Structure formats: structure tokens, C-alpha cells
Amino acid sequence: MLDKILSKKAFLSFVFISLVVGGIMSFGSMGKLEDPEIPVKAAVVITSYPGATAKEVEKEVTDILEKAIQRLEHIDHIESRSMPGLSEIQITIESGVPSSQLPQLWDHLRRKVNDAKGGLPSGAGAPNINDDFGDVSGIFMAISNDGHDYYDFQNYVDDISKELLDINGVKRIETFGKQREVVNISFNNEYFATLGVNPMMIFQAFHDQGQTVDAGSFVSGSQRIRVNIGNKFQSIDEIKNFEVKLSNGGRYRLGQIARVTRDFYDPVTERLKYNGFPAISLALSMEAGGNVIELGERVEERLQKIEESLPVGIEIHPVYFQHKNVDDAINDFMINLIESVLIVVVVLLLAMGFRAGLLIASGLVFTILTTFIVMGATGIELHRVSLAAIIIAMGMLVDNSIVVVDGILVDLQKGIKQKKAFVATAKKSAMPLLGATLVAILAFLPLAFNSTAAGEFLRPLFYVLAISLFLSWILALIQTPFMAQFFYRKGRQKKSKSGEIETNQGVFYRWFDKVIRFSLLHKSMMAILMVVLLVASFWSFKFVKKDFFPNSPYNQFLLEYYLPEGSDVSQVETDLELVQKEISQWEEIDFVVSALVRTPVRYTLSRPMNSMNMNYGELIISLKSEDDLNPVKQRLQEYVSQNYPQADARTRNYSSMGGDYKIQAMFQGPDDKVLFQLAEQAKAIMRKEEMAAFVNDNWRNPVKTLSPKYSQEKARKLGVTRGDMARAIAIATSGHPVGSFYDGEYRLPVMLKLNKTVADDVNQIASIPVWAGLPTSVSLEQLVDSIDMEWEYNVVRRYDAKRSIKVQADPAPGFTGVQLQTALTKKIEAIPLPEGYTLKWLGEIDSSTKANAALAENMPLAFLLMVIIIIGLFGNFRQPFIILCLMPLSFVGVILGFQVTGISFGFFSIIGTLGLMGMMIKNAVVLLDEINVEIKEGRDKLTAVINSAVSRLRPVMMASLTTILGMLPLLWDEMFKTMAVAIMFGLLVGTIITLIVVPVLYTVFYRVNTKALRK
């Protein structure tokens, strides 16, 4: 069969040319992203309940909705926070649920929430369900304003947004930083009293004027004519000219008796600044399956045209352009790819000769290009994981070709005719190489079925490795023999001085022959030595630093800044402005973006997200060079810790995995006071630990609350309801909505408020005027039993419908999350828990446990398939058992590598170790197959073992060496270096072990007498 295929020279030449052209074209046209597209399997339900306390929101809104949501299928957990006037519930779906089922689940969620809506109190708003808050907006820009009227600036931003939304491939645009505008009607209570004006009359009259009413229609002849009673308020002047009628017959225009102004809503609900200048951001999301580089180029081209028409003072600034990062990553990949190819080629040229090296290298190029074709056809995009997979596979892709070429060279040296020599090894090795290749692929199989976030992130690694390795086997059997005829036209028979044909001769071969003979002669000692080495390695593993997931490499980082609960957002803004001015003078800083209240948008998968908090702000700090990241980050942390001790401020890297904090101990139970006591004990333990930093809890501190105690007896006599009192207090503080005003583009709420609010004079609280149905008012103190200043928590947090509090911390610089977790676990678990209270570990250990458990869950399947293949290859049980005995020894080199380098062992390292096992099994299969071939040719077992070990020395060493050196570029990749260390050191030591231990174990299991080697 293979002879017939190789005889079709014209056909094969056309196929190989097509593969080159198709590979280049596929590389240029396939989708390109920064990270794999991983859907955030979570939705948020937000419900307003104005005027309610946090505990009222919990009982009357959150609890009702949670009970309904809990009936939804495939829920992993539900987290909620109830705040004054607002309920927020986050539903996280089980990681094993396919992404294709999420739309149906979200539809079921809407039905559950809609069914529960009738049980909500009358003052609660309709629940709002957001199921796309986890979408990544890959293009994030800030538009700054220097000197222009805000209304004009906002119109410019809207125009830019409309222009960009029209670009092909743009799915959605989100804005952040727009100031919420309102129309304020401010009045003087004493003046209203002299005029006999009840502000509630303005409320009712304004409501009637602004309300949309259907005036009906009538029939005229054969036509039906609709009646339109005219427009509502169209301008501020119309509101000012609105006529207020008094009960005594008097009439006043609203502008005569009150001040009507267009202002910004206070307090600020979101704000953005770029290098200190007011700004609004635009975040562009790409349609699924698009090419972010091409989209980015279209966006930049349109921005250039837009900037030409912008006035001076309005500028567009890139904050995070994913296509730039992807472009840089692909350029870096091409450099790494070229470096890896050159390293592999140089190794092959030095070890196997010029022609053999070029022959094997040609197979490597064909394999990579064909892999691009298959990736494009199957919809696998180019991103950091798929690109890393190709580099990881780089050395393995030449393994099959090395075996085939080495066999060709040996046959040619033996004097076998060229035509037969070119196909003999391919035929002989086809099935063993297929089995070995499948084993190498199966080593990464647990990734394919790992449904955790970490598993989904790395899943393309398995697919790309599987595709490329399988293609390398096909091309080794066809392309390598086909191309060999052009490299070896005359053969290369080599004879010794005695006239015999030389194979496997040389100083190194002779030295290794002596090593094998010594090992076989002392096989019992070698077996014991391996056991001792294995035990010592596992013992020393406790000294290796451990971590879960590496940080993503960027030239940006964050400063998350929390003031104590109850702080005004304006103070957060003031503090961040001072920090921004300070660090803008540092030469390493490129630009600084500040955001208030919440995170602007998820513009990259690894971007940490923070929900709305009125005491929160953040800085997005971009550096000129990624190399300055850690020094500047540490310097800023020291600066804010020294100068802003009242704040809970921490610098933070982008990270593809992990939660808010690496260490999270969650206590659950019914009584929040008991929860606080447990949390304080846990925090005290954490603060005593030198490895712990940023210790806090997620309820934070209690806040001051003004509580007028409404007296029904007093209020009934005066004809004042609880609602009247609440509206009056709102008018005296932040304002009370009386309607809305549409200016042609925006709908603005109209707020009624005193011109001198409580914020201007806190002593006027008791004298706040309260109106009922009469034109005169009564003071607040006439309606209440007392006015108290109380302390309460601004939030009630629940986890799976139970009150919970998380005690949180991060490791201090120089330590890992695993080290800190190990130091804290026993101490915190020793805290006595009252009945009905539980402790659960979340954070990094929870993510790590789930990810590792998902890997372990599928390892038996991969292991079983490996065993089936190995047994099928050898047709017995002893040789597969020899290979299985080899697998634990793979850890020897891995553990040594992490001890030498000092880097942390984590999830990527586990993946690398699994792959390493596959590589070692592959080498063992090749070696055992050669022993079987030698025995079939009539040699005794001892001779066959020695000859096979020596003859397989070059292909096994070359396969390992090319893999090790081909992965060198990954040692400088922050994300994949732990995987590279595991494979490189593991394979370096493992290859030596394989070449010695397999022959030793063979002689042990087959009871080969090695005493003859003493002679």
C-alpha cells in the first residue's frame, strides 16, 4: 500500500505544494484572538426596592427571588447581596453545562423570575436579568474632554459610537463614564409657605402634564383618525413656564417661584478620567468567530477619519486594543516558532548530519502548515493557548520522522537498496509509531473533558496537539520516505576496516554500550536505586513552591481602592486624583485611567471585575514596558499604603483564573452577629500570619444611618402618612422624582428638592418640612418619637440562600496562595463553630481543587485507552507492565526541575507532567518494539536488549533533545513556563531513565540471565 502511494510522484508533489500554499493562506485567514473564548456561565438579577433597608431588601425581595431561582436546573451556586434599595443575585451555572445550552437556561431563569415577580412588594421594581455581563469587549478606548461643554461632549461621543457601530464585525458598544443628568426644581420652603404652595401640588400637576394619555380615535367617512393632544415638555424653558395653580385661585409660573436647572445627578453613579481629564469610554464587542486583528484595523481606520473632524480638546485614546496584543503575540509566536524550528534543525544537523537534518526539518514545516489548515477548517482560532500548543508540540512533531529517517540511514549503511530502504522502516514502524503517537495524545486527553474554567481555557491545547501529532505520524510515513529519495540518491553504505558494515559505531555508542551492560549486570542494584530515587524525589516535593494559575503577562495593572463603607464617592475621587497626579510623574508610566463606583467593562478575559460600590474606585495603569510591571506595582503599593492608610487599596495583576482573593474562608449561618464574631477570629489569625496581606471581609464595616422613628399617633392627628414623611425627607436630601423630561435624545428625571438640603446644614434635620394635603407644612420632629443615628451594615450577603461572610486575604509578596493556605487551614478550621454554622474554603483552593478533580476524573479513561493500545501493540501483559512501571519515574525530573528553577508548581505543571508521561511511554514503546524486532530476527534476548538500547539511542535522544530545546522560548512566557519546566527537565531525566530502566526491567520480567556479561 505504502509503495503504491509513494509511486504517485506527481500526485504527491501536488499535494505537498497544496499543503504549503493552503497552510500559509489558512494562517492568514483564520480567526485570531488574545485568549480562547470562554463563556462566563453566570447571570445577574438586579431588582430595585427604593427606601428599603438592606435587611428589608433581603427578606422581601432577595429571599423570594432566590427561592424561585433555586428551582432552576444545573445551578452551581447562587450569591446575593442585599443593599439599601437594591437586590443583586448572581447565578453561576455548573461548569459541565455546554455553552450551547446557556441560552435555554437563561430563558428558564427569566420564566422563574417572572413567576416570582408577583410576590414582590408593591414598591419594588421589575427584576432586570443580565446574562451577558461576562462578554469580553476586545477594543476599549477613552474619549477625553478638555474645555468643552459636557452636553456637546456627550453628543460627540454618541456620534462616534454610532460611527463605530456601523463597522462590519462590531456586535455591541458599551459606554462608561456618562454623567446621569437630571432637571432639578429647587425651592425655598419659607417662600412656598408665604405663597400657600404645597410642593405636592407641583408633583401632581407635573405628573399630569408629562403623562402620555391615549386620546382615542374617531371615524370620519371611511377613515379612522387618531387624536393626538400634542407633545409633552420639549425644553427646560417649557418646564419653567409651566403654570402652577393654587387652591386659593392664584397662578404662578414654576420658574417664578422655584429654580429650574439642568444638573448632574448626585451622587455620581459612574465616572471616568483619562490622565486626569474627564472622559467617556467605548468598549466594542466582536461578533462570534471574527478576526480581531482585521476588526481592529477597520476600527483604527475609521477612528483616523473621525479624529480629523473632532474639535481641539476632544481626543480618542486606546486603553486596551486586543488586536494589538494579538498581533504582538502572533509576531512573538512567529519569532518563537522560527527559533524553535532553527533549534530543532541545528540539533538534527549536528546529530544526524546535514541531509538527515533537512529531511526531518522539512517534515516539521509540512506538519505545522497542515495543522493550520485543519485548525482553520475546524474553527480553532489562533490565540495564546493554541500558539503555545504548537510550540509545545514542536519537538514531538519530529519524533516519528526521526525514527523513520534513522531507520533509513541504518538500512542504507547496511547496503539495502534505496527503494526498499526508503519504505522498510516506515512499514515496519507504522503501527508502533501510531500506537506511541496515540499514547502521547491520550496523555493530554483529560484536558478535552475538563469542564472547569481552567480546563476550558486550556482545552484548545489538547485539540491542537492531537491534530499536529497525528498529522506528524501521517507525514512521517509518506512525506519523509518521499522526500528521502531526493536527499539520498546514491545511498551511504559505510564499512569498517575489516570490510564489515558499520552501524551504531562511535565513541558515544561504545560508552553507552558499556553503561547498558553494567546496568544489566547489576539489575537488582539498579532497580533498588530507581526506587530510592523515586522515594527521595517525592519526599523532596514538599520543598517545591506551589501555586494554582499564573498571572497573564501585560504591561497594565490595577489599583483597587476602597474607602470604608459609608464614605462618599467624592472622597474616593479626590484620593485617586492625587494618586494619579503622583504616579503620572513616574517615567515608567504611559497613561492612567481612573474609574469610579465599578469596573468599566470586561475588556479582556483576565480582567478582574468589581461590582458597584459607592466607596470604590480604581486606576488602570499602563506602563511603557512590561518589564517594569513588578517594580512599579510594588512601588505604588508602598506609596498608597503609606499615604492612604484609611483605604483598603491593593495593586493587582490581570489573571485568567481565580476570584477576588486567593484565600477565602466563608462562614455560613443564620445570625449575622455570630458570623461577625467568627470572621473576627479568622481575621485575627490571618493578621498574625506574615505571609498574609490585604486581610478583610466582604461585609466590611457598619455605617451611620439616620433613623427618624415614625409615630403613627402623632402623624394621624396631623393627617400625615409614612409616605408623606419619606417624600419630604427625600426632597430635603437627594431629591424626589416628580416625572421625566425628554430633550429629543435623552430622558432626564425631574427632581423636586429644597434649595438648602440637609447636606448644607445637618442641624436642620428636625425641622425638615413635611406636607400633607394642606398648603402648610409641619416639621419632622412633630411626626416622630425620636431621631437617632444608628450603625448598620450596608450589605447582607448570602451564599446558596444562607447568610454568609467571607474572610479574605492575598499572599504577601514572595509567597504563593498555596503556602498561605497551608499555613492558615488548620488554625482557622480549629475555630469552634456553633450549631448551625459551617466553614467552607473558596478562593484559589476551591478553583484548584475543582480543576484538578476534573483532570483526575478523566485520567482513568485516558489511562485505560493507553493500556489498551499498548497491549494491542505488544500482544502481551509483561511489556505494557514494564511501561507502566516507568510512569512514576517521570516525576523524578519534574521535581528536580522545579527545585532547580525555584518557580511554582501549578495547574500548568500538572498538564505538562501528564504530557511528559505520554512522551516517556512513546520512547519506551519504540525501544521495546525494537527489542521484539531483534528477537524475531533470531538474536537471543540479552543481545537483543543490548543492541536495541544502543540502536535506539540516537532516535530516542534526538526526539527528546528536540522537544527539550524546542520549548526553550516558553521559559520566558509567564503563563506557560511552568509547563515548559515540567516537560523539559522531566524529559531530560526521563529519557536517560527510559534508556536504562526499560532494558533492566525487561531482563527482570523475562528472567534474562545477565551473568554472561561478567566475561
Q: What are phi and psi of 659, to 5 degrees?
A: -100, -155
| Cα–Cα–Cα angle for 414, 418, 419, rounded to 5 degrees | 130
What's the rounded mean pLDDT across residues 246-256? 77
Pairwise pLDDT comparison (233 vs 126), residue with the higher score = 126
Shared domain check, 633 and 568: yes
Shared domain check, 537 and 560: no
Shared domain check, 539 and 559: no
Distances (CA, A) of 604 to 270, 454, 559, 883, 1007: 20, 16, 17, 44, 60
Alpha helices (H) along 394-452: 399-413, 418-442, 445-448
| Cα–Cα–Cα angle for 326, 328, 332, rounded to 5 degrees | 115
Whichever domain contains 901, its CATH number is: 1.20.1640.10
Q: Look at residue 616 and tell me if it is in a domain.
A: yes
Q: Look at residue 328 and tell me if it is in a domain.
A: no
- Closest C-alpha to 949, from 918, 922, 928: 928
Distances (CA, A) of 231 to 41, 217, 621: 45, 17, 48
Q: Is 313 left (phi over 0), alpha (psi -120 to 50) or beta?
A: left
* C-alpha cell at position 948: 536495541
In three state form, how does the secondary structure of 681-750 look? HHHHHHHHCCCEEEEEECCCCCEEEEEEEECHHHHHHHCCCHHHHHHHHHHHCCCEEEEEEECCCCEEEE
Whichever domain contains 730, its CATH number is: 3.30.2090.10
Burial class, 973, CB count within 10 angstroms (exposed 0-12 / middle 13-18 / buried 19+): buried
pLDDT at 773: 66
Shared domain check, 470 and 375: yes
Residue 209 confidence (pLDDT) above 70: no
Cα separation, 752 vs 738, whole angstroms: 6
Shared domain check, 533 and 635: no
* C-alpha cell at position 459: 482545552
pLDDT at 686: 95
Q: What are phi and psi of 366, to 5 degrees?
A: -60, -40
- Closest C-alpha to 317, from 574, 587, 579, 590: 590
* C-alpha cell at position 163: 460611527
Q: Look at residue 499 and tell me if it is in a domain.
A: no
Angle of helix 953-966 versus helix 322-352 axis, rounded to 10:
150
Q: Which residue is associated with the grid cell 504577601?
A: 812
Least confident of 5-14, 598-607, 846-855: 846-855
Distances (CA, A) of 378 to 8, 333, 464: 29, 21, 11
pLDDT at 79: 94
pLDDT, tens digit (0-9, with 9 covering 90-100), for 68-105: 999 999 999 999 999 999 999 999 998 878 878 888 99
pLDDT at 495: 47
**SS3 at position 777:** strand
Least confident of 64-73, 443-452, 584-593, 941-950: 443-452
Residue 719 confidence (pLDDT) above 80: yes
Shared domain check, 530 and 466: no
Cα separation, 690 vs 680, whole angstroms: 18
In three state form, how does the secondary structure of 149-198 look? CHHHHHHHHHHHHHHHHCCCCEEEEEEECCCCEEEEEEECHHHHHHHCCC
Least confident of 7-11, 214-218, 372-376, 379-383: 214-218
28's CB contacts (< 8 A; 6+ apart) are none
pLDDT, tens digit (0-9, with 9 covering 90-100), for 888-921: 888 888 999 988 888 888 888 888 888 888 888 8
Pairwise pLDDT comparison (222 vs 499), residue with the higher score = 222
Pairwise pLDDT comparison (844 vs 798), residue with the higher score = 798
Cβ–Cβ under 8 Å, residues 796 and 788: no
pLDDT, tens digit (0-9, with 9 covering 90-100), for 958-969: 778 878 887 787
Domain boundary among 792, 819, 846: 792
**SS3 at position 771:** strand
**SS3 at position 492:** coil
Give the domain range for residue 570: 553-654
- Closest C-alpha to 911, from 533, 385, 554: 385
Q: Is the overall model pTM greater than 0.75, yes or no?
A: yes
Tell me whether strands 747-754 and 181-187 are parallel, antiparallel or unpaired.
parallel
**SS3 at position 269:** coil
In three state form, how does the secondary structure of 538-561 look? HHHHHHCCECCCCCCCCCEEEEEE
pLDDT at 212: 63
pLDDT at 777: 79
Cα separation, 5 vs 130, whole angstroms: 58
> Structural domain tally of the chain?
5
Shared domain check, 433 and 414: yes
Of 291-295, 333-337, 346-350, 649-653, which has the strongest mean pLDDT?
A: 649-653
Q: Look at residue 340 and tell me if it is in a domain.
A: no
What's the rounded mean pLDDT across residues 683-711? 91
Residue 265 confidence (pLDDT) above 70: yes
Cβ–Cβ under 8 Å, residues 993 and 921: no
pLDDT at 247: 67
pLDDT, tens digit (0-9, with 9 covering 90-100), for 529-583: 888 988 998 898 888 888 777 777 788 999 999 999 989 999 999 999 999 999 9
Whichever domain contains 601, its CATH number is: 3.30.70.1430
Identify the helix (H) or strand (E) that includes residue 752.
Answer: strand 747-754
Distance between first and last Cα of the chain:
47
User: What percent of the chain shows pLDDT beyond 90?
Assistant: 30
Shared domain check, 468 and 361: yes
pLDDT at 68: 94
Pairwise pLDDT comparison (597 vs 32), residue with the higher score = 597
Pairwise pLDDT comparison (500 vs 388), residue with the higher score = 388
206's CB contacts (< 8 A; 6+ apart) are 242, 738, 739, 750
Domain boundary among 742, 773, 792: 792
What's the rounded mean pLDDT across residues 835-864? 85
Q: Look at residue 741 and tell me if it is in a domain.
A: yes
Domain boundary among 93, 115, 134: 134
Verify cis geometry, omega within 30 degrees of 0, for the bond prior to 267: yes
What b/e readout covers 922-945, taking b as 16+ CB neighbours within 10 angstroms? Answer: bbbbbbbbbbbbbbeeebebbebb
Tell me whether strands 86-93 and 128-130 are parallel, antiparallel or unpaired.
unpaired
| Single-letter code of the amino acid located at 343 | I
Cβ–Cβ under 8 Å, residues 608 and 143: no
Residue 500 confidence (pLDDT) above 70: no
pLDDT at 889: 85
pLDDT, tens digit (0-9, with 9 covering 90-100), for 410-432: 777 777 777 787 778 778 878 88
Q: Report the half-sphere exposure of 497 (CA within 13 A, side-chain side).
A: 0
Pairwise pLDDT comparison (368 vs 334), residue with the higher score = 368
Q: Give the pLDDT band of residue 502 (cuts 50, 70, 90).
A: very low
Residue 211 confidence (pLDDT) above 50: yes
Q: Look at residue 853 and tell me if it is in a domain.
A: no
Handedness of CA 258, 261, 264, 265 (dihedral sign): positive
Shared domain check, 480 and 364: yes
Cα separation, 43 vs 49, whole angstroms: 20
Residues composing the chain: 1015
Shared domain check, 882 and 1009: yes
Q: Look at residue 779 and tell me if it is in a domain.
A: yes
Q: Look at residue 618 and tell me if it is in a domain.
A: yes
In sequence order, the β-bridge partners of residue 797 are 81
Residue 816 confidence (pLDDT) above 90: no
Cα separation, 578 vs 592, whole angstroms: 12
Handedness of CA 821, 823, 824, 829 (dihedral sign): positive
Shared domain check, 562 and 516: no
pLDDT at 688: 94
Shared domain check, 535 and 515: yes
What's the rounded mean pLDDT across residues 336-343? 74
Q: Give the Cβ contact number of residue 696 at 10 Å.
A: 18
Cα separation, 268 vs 596, whole angstroms: 8
- Closest C-alpha to 648, from 592, 589, 688, 697: 697
Mean pLDDT of the chain: 85
pLDDT at 34: 73
Residue 259 confidence (pLDDT) above 60: yes
pLDDT at 496: 44
